[in-house]
């Protein structure tokens, strides 16, 4: 993999990633007249739930569903306005978000607590938010990316995880993709994101707490036991030598897959070359099944669950959640009263049936 680092007009970092053997130079200069990025994000502690909430009101003005000829993720080419990517061609490119929820240059001057609520501790919204653009082709869906591009994407995720984990104060690195307007995507060009948090997100906290509680009660390894059971269970959808994709026994979403490596590794950088090859293969297979389950491709979220930067790394088992809100043709699963109000999921589908349906998908 070839990595080329440049700067955009407002000082944000942009990194081009090319497969070995590429002759791309990426010398184009960002000619836009951009104001400096100003971020006033802050974090507030929910003392009752024991988790942080981020506030980023400046994001209200971010770009929203522009027409294709004004897409900010497309290459910069003659006859079109300059974009976030100065070069006319690229394979995969990563840059700091222009409208970040969290930032390393965030305003540090925040009161110690929310007004009138001494239990709601306040901190600056420190972190980093990056955009990962999978291809220069605006109309190419992630499910249509060739195996070589998916393999490069795996290396990019691993590289960004290493780079962001090295930032002092970062506690968790989260690569993810939101796909489909129904999910809330505001740019249709195929892309994902990476968030680097200065705190442990609620899901990571709960996973670690469950693993630690299981060990204290039974002396067992919860992650290893769950992976072993699912790999030999009735909900396996696809597998290869190094990875298995299965519908979780307690799936929350109408269509949900987890992809797990057969060897315990804490995060994407921990995968060896063969495991990365196998991941690209199985990830492409999973995307294809979601794209062809119904007449129209399913919206989805692809969420990498990696070990925290410092805590619990020896216990963690890397895994990918791939899930969709679609429950049937033309019907979505809305997170209404029980899910949104109480966090108690009620599923409209059966995990074993979903696994059978996804196994039967061909294309």
Whether residues 244 and 140 share a domain: the answer is no
Which of 154, 178, 193 is the last residue in one of the domains?
Answer: 154
pLDDT exceeds cutoff 80 at 86:
yes
pLDDT exceeds cutoff 80 at 165:
yes
Q: Does the residue 44 lie in any domain?
A: yes
Number of domains within the chain: 2
Catalytic residue numbers, as ranges: 191
- Residue 146 pLDDT level (bands cut at 50, 70, 90): very high
The pLDDT tens digits for 17-29 are 999 877 778 999 9
The pLDDT tens digits for 183-222 are 888 899 999 999 999 999 999 999 999 999 999 999 999 9
Beta strands in the chain (DSSP E): 2-7, 13-18, 42-46, 51-55, 92-96, 113-114, 117-124, 127-133, 172-179, 191-197, 236-239, 243-246, 255-261, 300-305, 319-324, 326-328, 331-332
Q: Does the residue 337 lie in any domain?
A: yes
pLDDT at 184 (0 to 100): 84
CA quadruple 268, 271, 273, 274: dihedral, nearest 10:
-120
Give the structural domain span for 268. Answer: 203-359
- Residue 240 pLDDT level (bands cut at 50, 70, 90): very high
Output the domain CATH number for residue 327: 3.30.428.10
Which of 117, 137, 154 is the last residue in one of the domains?
Answer: 154
Which of 86, 121, 154 is the last residue in one of the domains?
Answer: 154
Rg (CA), the chain: 21
Lowest-confidence segment of 36-40, 71-75, 130-134, 206-210 by average pLDDT = 36-40
Lowest-confidence segment of 63-77, 101-115, 158-172 by average pLDDT = 63-77
Q: Does the residue 163 lie in any domain?
A: no
Q: What is the pTM of this model?
A: 0.96
Whether residues 18 and 127 share a domain: the answer is yes
Whether residues 103 and 235 share a domain: the answer is no
The pLDDT tens digits for 311-326 are 999 999 999 999 999 9
Question: What single DSSP character describes residue 79?
Answer: T
């Amino acid at each position: 993999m070839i990595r080329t680092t440049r700067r955009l007009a407002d000082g944000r970092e942009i990194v081009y990633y090319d497969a070995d053997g590429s002759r791309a130079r990426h010398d184009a200069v960002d000619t836009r007249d951009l104001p400096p990025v100003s971020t006033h994000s802050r974090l507030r502690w929910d003392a009752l739930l024991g988790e942080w909430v981020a506030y980023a009101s400046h994001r209200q003005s971010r770009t929203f569903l522009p027409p294709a000829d004004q897409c900010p993720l497309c290459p910069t080419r003659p006859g079109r306005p300059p974009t976030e990517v100065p070069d006319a061609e690229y394979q995969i490119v990563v840059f700091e978000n222009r409208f970040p929820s969290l930032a390393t240059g965030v305003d540090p001057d925040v009161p110690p607590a929310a007004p009138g609520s001494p239990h709601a501790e306040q901190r600056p919204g420190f972190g980093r938010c990056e955009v990962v653009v999978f291809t220069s082709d605006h109309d190419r869906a992630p499910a249509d990316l060739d195996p070589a591009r998916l393999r490069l994407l795996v290396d990019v995720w691993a590289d960004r995880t290493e780079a962001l984990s090295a930032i002092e104060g970062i506690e968790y690195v989260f690569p993810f993709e939101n796909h489909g307007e129904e999910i809330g995507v505001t740019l249709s060009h195929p892309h994902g994101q990476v968030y680097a948090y200065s705190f442990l997100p609620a899901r990571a906290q709960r996973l670690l707490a469950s693993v630690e509680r299981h060990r204290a009660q039974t002396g067992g390894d919860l992650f290893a036991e769950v992976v072993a059971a699912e790999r030999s269970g009735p909900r396996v959808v696809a597998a290869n030598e190094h990875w298995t994709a299965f519908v979780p026994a307690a799936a929350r979403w109408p269509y949900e897959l987890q992809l797990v490596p057969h060897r315990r590794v804490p995060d994407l950088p921990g995968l060896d070359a063969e495991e990365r090859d196998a991941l690209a293969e199985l990830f492409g297979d999973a995307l294809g099944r979601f794209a062809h389950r119904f007449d129209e491709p399913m919206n989805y979220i692809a969420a990498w669950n990696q070990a925290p930067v410092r805590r619990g790394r020896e216990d963690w088992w890397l895994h990918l959640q791939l899930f969709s809100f679609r429950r049937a043709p033309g019907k979505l699963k809305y997170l209404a009263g029980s899910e949104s109000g109480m966090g108690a999921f009620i599923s409209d589908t059966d995990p074993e049936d979903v696994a059978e349906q996804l196994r039967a998908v061909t294309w």
